[in-house]
Amino acid sequence: MARRARKQRPIQTLDRRGLRHPFAPQSIFSDDETAHIHDQACHVLAHLGMKILLPEARELLKRAEAKVVDETVHFPRDMVDAALASAPKTLVQKAPNPAQDLDIREGSMIFAPAGGCPNVSDRIRGRRPGDLESYVDGVKLMQHFDVIHKLSPAPEPQDVPVHLRHYAMMETQLLHSDKPLSVYGRGRKQVTQCFEMIAAALELSDDAFSAAPWCSCVVNTNSPRLLDNPMAQALIDFARAGQMIVVTPFCLAGAMAPITVAGALLLQHAEALAAITLNQIAKPGAPVMYGGFSSNVHMKSGAPAFGTPEHIQMTIGSGQLARHIGLPWRSAAGVASNTNDMQATHETLMSLWATLQANATLTFHGAGWLEGGLTFGFEKFIQDIEALQTFAAIAQPLDMSEDALGMGALEQVQPGGHFFDTDQTMTRFATAFAEPVNADLRSYGTWEKAGAETADMRATRIWQDIVANAKPPAGAQDRVERIRPMINAFTDAGGANIVD
Amino acid sequence: MARRARKQRPIQTLDRRGLRHPFAPQSIFSDDETAHIHDQACHVLAHLGMKILLPEARELLKRAEAKVVDETVHFPRDMVDAALASAPKTLVQKAPNPAQDLDIREGSMIFAPAGGCPNVSDRIRGRRPGDLESYVDGVKLMQHFDVIHKLSPAPEPQDVPVHLRHYAMMETQLLHSDKPLSVYGRGRKQVTQCFEMIAAALELSDDAFSAAPWCSCVVNTNSPRLLDNPMAQALIDFARAGQMIVVTPFCLAGAMAPITVAGALLLQHAEALAAITLNQIAKPGAPVMYGGFSSNVHMKSGAPAFGTPEHIQMTIGSGQLARHIGLPWRSAAGVASNTNDMQATHETLMSLWATLQANATLTFHGAGWLEGGLTFGFEKFIQDIEALQTFAAIAQPLDMSEDALGMGALEQVQPGGHFFDTDQTMTRFATAFAEPVNADLRSYGTWEKAGAETADMRATRIWQDIVANAKPPAGAQDRVERIRPMINAFTDAGGANIVD
């Protein structure tokens, strides 16, 4: 392209870890309105209360002066205030590789991929229930891209019996990745075994393990105003072990939440405060994130919808509520589309941009979600990486040097000329622009002659190549070797059943 | 869905005209940096100057104290300052139907579809050179959706000889739409005839026509620092007739502009200031908009890229420069993809969100762009309407009434219950959420059984239905009848050749 010979040098690889939000948070509420919703949420918790199924949790709350009527817990305002005061305002989630540790605080921009998907799909093997093979492939993809900061549990390895599945998932995470780990809250026995496996794999003493969060667990409420046994158990057990809880009511306005943006967020906020309060009463100062994943249903059909105006507004409002209580928080992208089409990317980008507008600390489901989360799509994962890497590039500082401003380049080029071989271009061409992941920028004719491949077809080659060439990261084999005897012993002892 | 009988009432149609930006503008520059780029742009214009091919334009500028050396015009700073002082800060572009008039000022959020595309594509007729049939269909689609606020010239009716094409395009706009009109700046004769046709169709006296902009024209510079004959001519002729110019340097960083975000915007700004200055010298106070459409090329191939981090940054920076000089301004979405795939929607949504971040007054190419603007895609148009309507919905005021907050609804629903039949839902269900245009929200199984249609397939049915059922708006037949004799006379006289 340039007529002058260029000194070839390698394309500089951007380090996409430790990202900070480039834009100021937007708002849908005034500060007064945000405070009012918080007050009303406290009112809901005090007067309507939250149904909590786990007797141990009710007992804990009762001892802390909550009023308990049958299974319903009424939270006094000062109990909620105390929990918000003790909850940490900044967190570091530790990873097997310290270079992958997450600095979690206001302004952090952290991305996690699709999580919790029971199914998996790709263009080679089709759509099918998740299995261990596809989970391994998924973790390899999560490990490959540095804009993915944290592992998510997906696709679900359904071919492994559920009482043994946490062993396979832990082994897979530790063997194929060195990023922050994810643990399901499926009952005390499974959770405790996971903690033991992590401590053994990473050679942590009990004190070292409980001194920092080495794994995290998403706790959903059962909206409206219900907390089931495994979730309440996780809130307690993770707190006591010093491990991280990500509280996430999933409020679909018009179905399990009020039909308005304000009403759905009021419910989300009340439920999140209840979960945070239980968590902090179990152990004050325990690592916990506020969270919300609220969208709306389509009222004609009752189907969940994502990337909608209401989803965007609720995401932005969630950020305001999180900053009101001063906690780092999680948000999420979402997709309803059943396939890798324009709808899928529309929904992902609408909801991802909302998380930017909202300054979400941690964005879940940032890559690979399809079908409202029922399927982890490999091609979709690759396409979504393009979006996350775009955000990572925007978050880099802008070069405003005199050389960048380019008065010299302007002087070198005559009217109607071009800048291909200015000194400025020569110096910068290799690193000037972010390299696309999956975009095809060729002209129509060239693209058509080359087979007219669509974005999903190109993505297939990309994930296949990554999966085929992935190697366990440094130290991973050793980490897994350390827990193999433990897994064998747990398995021989019958595994660990999940708790309803 | 609801167990209680609902009073059926029609879905309320949102009026998507007169939109205002819901979010504060973001920034990539500090205020000092913005001012510095403006100062440097003035320096470029004074010291390097702009090559202006049209002798009439150079003469005008020379009389206004510009220094002219051969074809290069050097703009003194005070000449630029005077132009910025005389350029209107608010504009109203008039439409054949007064209800479609555009209020153009800081904070306005106005959308125009893809413009200037030589080709057209749809799933029925394939990809082909634009023709009058497809232009008629395109204008019908632009008219149908109220979130499209302004007509764009696309797809280009290439089957009409170019010396007669402006008659066919004017007739089509006036017959199938009542929205603000678009006129190409292809030489004085064509432009003057277009002005005469508009005045006749709308029964405007000379004074009434020149008192307000009844049409607009995009003026691109030939970056770097070159203004060709038809563009300079349009800057003069539209100004003198009181019609609207939308100044739009198209600066591709790394090719026709410096390889940096700051440098490309510096060039864009200098070129825009030159064009605005010529326009205002031709007639102080003439309706003119600042504009920019800057992105980057892919340095390995030289291909234009859109929706990139740099495109987003330049869009946001353009907004800062526009607000620095106090003028309403145009921006644009952009797409490199050759087909209706995830890449296409990725690029559109990245660049559309950038225009929101930038608080663009007028966003061109908001629906239907493909292949870097070489093709107007009918299915892509429909899919993009989903995005624009999402933005229109976000721009509506949020209901923060006590009923919206929904304490009553929360009290009605037991823990674990649902909100389908609360009083709040019953009152609001028909209007609570924006209805999707092209999204399929069915479950995977239902969707698959129904034929597993992708978004582009669904979009085909939508545009076909609109095109088949479109009727000329009220008064349109009369407006066209008034100019038919004029068009016949112009045609008999040999039409009007375009000017190089």
Ordered DSSP codes for B86-155: HS-SSEEE--SSGGG-EEESTTB-EE----S-SEEEETTTEEEE--HHHHHHHHHHHHH-TT--S----S
Q: Do A263 and B420 touch (CB under 8 A)?
A: no
pLDDT digits (tens, 9 = 90+) for A105-139: 999 999 999 999 999 999 999 999 999 999 999 99
Each residue of B238-262: pLDDT tens digit? 999 999 999 999 999 999 999 999 9
B495 φ, ψ (degrees, to nearest 5): 70, -160
Amino acid at B328: P
- What's the ipTM? 0.96
- What is the predicted pLDDT for the residue at A257? 96
Residue B135 has pLDDT above 60, yes or no: yes
Give which of A295, A342, A374, A405 to mutate to test B binding, by max B Cβ within 10 Å. A342
What is the reported pLDDT for B54?
Answer: 98
Per-residue pLDDT tens over the stretch A168-200? 999 999 999 999 999 999 999 999 999 999 999
**Structural contact between residues B347 and B353, judged by C-beta atoms closer than 8 angstroms:** no
Say if the Cβ atoms of B263 and A341 lie within 8 Å: no
Measured CA to CA, the distance from residue A404 to residue A424 in angstroms comes to 8
Residues in A touching B339 (Cβ below 8 Å): 452, 454
Q: What is the pLDDT of residues A407-465, one digit of tens each?
A: 999 999 999 999 999 999 999 999 899 899 999 999 999 999 999 999 999 999 999 99
CA–CA gap between residue A495 and residue A488 (Å, rounded): 9
Phi, psi of B395 (to 5 degrees): -75, -5
CA distances from A85 to A277, A285, B62 (A): 10, 9, 70
**Please, which residues bridge with residue B52 across strands?**
B227
Give me chain A's average pLDDT, please.
96
Identify from A8, A14, A398, A419 which residue to disrupt to test chain B contact, counting B C-beta atoms within 10 A and taking the largest count: A419
Q: Which of B250, B263, B262, B349 is nearest to B295 (CA)?
A: B250
**pLDDT tens, residue by residue, B430-448:** 989 989 999 999 999 999 9
**Token pair of B71, please?**
């074809």
Question: CA A171, A176, A181, A184 torsion: positive or negative?
Answer: negative
Tokens of A499: 């708790």
For residue B405, give the chain A residue with the closest CA.
A263
* Contact call for A262 and B405, based on CB within 8 A: yes
- Which chain B residue shows the shortest CA-CA distance from A396? B309
- Tell me B257's DSSP state: B
| pLDDT value for A130 | 98
Residue in B442, B384, B437, B340 with CA at minimum distance from that of residue A372 = B442
For residues B259-274, give the mean pLDDT.
Answer: 98
In the structure, what pLDDT confidence band is assigned to residue B14 with cuts at 50, 70 and 90? confident
For residues B413 and A266, give the distance between their C-alpha atoms in angstroms, rounded to a whole number. Answer: 14
The reported pTM is: 0.97
Q: Does the beta-carbon distance from A454 to B51 stay under 8 Å?
A: no
CA distance linking residue A182 with residue A169, whole number of Å? 9
**Local confidence band at A74 (pLDDT 50, 70, 90 cut-offs):** very high
Buried b (16+ CB within 10 A) or exposed e, B164-195: bbbbbbbbbbbbbbbbbbbbbbbbbbbbebbb
B493 Cβ neighbours under 8 A, 6+ residues apart? none
Q: Token match 């209360």: residue?
A: A49
Which pLDDT does position B499 carry in this prediction?
A: 76
Contact B317, B28 (CB under 8 A): yes
What confidence score (pLDDT) does residue B9 get?
A: 40
Contacts of B304 in chain A (CB under 8 A): 441
C-alpha distances in Å from residue A471, one per residue of A26, A137, A295: 41, 12, 38
Residue range A68-97: average pLDDT? 98
Mean pLDDT of A288-298: 94
Distance from the first to the final alpha carbon of chain B: 64
Residue numbers in A near B371 (CB within 8 A): 443-444
Residues of A in contact with B407 (CB under 8 A): 40, 43-44, 266
The whole-number average pLDDT for the span B310-330 is 98
In angstroms, the separation between the Cα of residue A289 and the nearest Cα of chain B is: 23
In chain B, % of residues over pLDDT 70? 97
For position B170, what pLDDT does the model report? 98
CB atoms within 10 A of CB A167: 23
Chain B interface, best mutation among A308, A418, A441, by max B CB count within 10 A = A441
Its sign, for the CA torsion B271, B277, B279, B282, is negative
What pLDDT shows up at residue A1?
33
DSSP state at residue A108:
B
Shortest Cα–Cα distance, A28 to chain B (Å): 7
CB–CB contact A429 B257 (8 Å)? no
Residues of B in Cβ contact (< 8 Å) with A312: 390, 394
Mean pLDDT of B227-238: 97
Which of A433, A435, A437, A440 should one mutate to test binding to chain B, selecting the residue with the greatest count of B CBs within 10 A?
A: A433
Phi, then psi, of B198 in degrees rounded to 5: -65, -45
For A384, name the nearest residue in chain B, comparing CA atoms only. B346
> Sorting pLDDT into bands at 50, 70 and 90, what band is B2?
very low
For residue B85, the distance in angstroms to the closest alpha carbon of chain A comes to 26
